Amino acid sequence: MNKKKKIEVLERPKRVYQVAKELNIESGELLDYLKERNYHVKNMSIMTKIDKKMYNEIKIRFKTLKEKKITKKVLEIPITDKIEKINYNNINNKFDFILNNYDLKEIIIKDFIELNNLDIYKHPKSIIILCGSILEALLIYSLESAEKEAIKKCKKSNKNEPIYEWSFFDIVKVSNEVGIIRSQVEHFSKEIKNLRNFVHIYLQLKEFKKGYKISPNIANATKSYFFEAIEEIREWNLQQIAKNHMN
């Protein structure tokens, strides 16, 4: 009697871009993690193959990252029912560094007013999406004013693209390297990027099934770091304006 031989099917190693797509993260973010882990591959790129051991490590790492990155420090930010009263002049002063694009400034101010009028308990998702949208616009504006330096620091694949077409991940990363935002705000800006993807309902549903959902606490933390980012962006731009006047 012939015994049936078990045929072992070997899985093909996945490439960086495939794993990034599977986990809904940027390829650049995954490449940074591989470098941190000293993953020994020459000429690392999105086509780099990832062995099974590292693949399993990455899955564990990034599966819980969205939940674990927003830790006690973030969730302990107190939620207040008091809506900050901000008049138009005060808001206009927040964005006084936007000098050469009146239309952009007008849209940002309108969105900022809408953001401040949203109830954190009723509209946590809208708050996160607006924070991400305004933050992205402010960083693009800032990078465009330092375009030569920004292009030097961006990855090669982006060098021929206008800054507004870069991924949010690269916009945040280069903004930190140029000095527009500091490391703590850069870290949370990446979280805003991940949370903002929940504008896609099926992606939100996928995460919901894993036990992860947007809460007032997360929206509140997002808003707090967003306000901090605005101050850093404003400070950097005003310094650039002062330097230009001195030259």
What is the pTM assigned to this prediction? 0.65
Distance CA 131, CA 88 (A): 18
What's the pLDDT at 81?
46
CB-CB contact of 30 with 49 (8 Å): no
DSSP state of 158: G
103 burial via Cβ count (<10 Å: 0-12, 13-18, 19+) = exposed
**What are the start-end ranges of the H helices in 64-123?**
65-68, 72-75, 88-94, 102-117
User: Which region, left, alpha or beta, applies to residue 116 given φ > 0 means left and ψ of -120 to 50 means alpha?
Assistant: alpha
Q: Which residues of the chain have pLDDT under 50?
A: 1, 3-10, 67, 70-75, 81-84
Task: Spell out the residues 6+ positions from residue 230 whose beta carbon is closer than 8 angstroms to its own.
Answer: 94, 138
Give the start-end residues of each E strand in the chain.
14-15, 49-50
Residue 99, SS3 per DSSP: coil
Distance CA 145, CA 82 (A): 36
Count of residues in the chain: 247
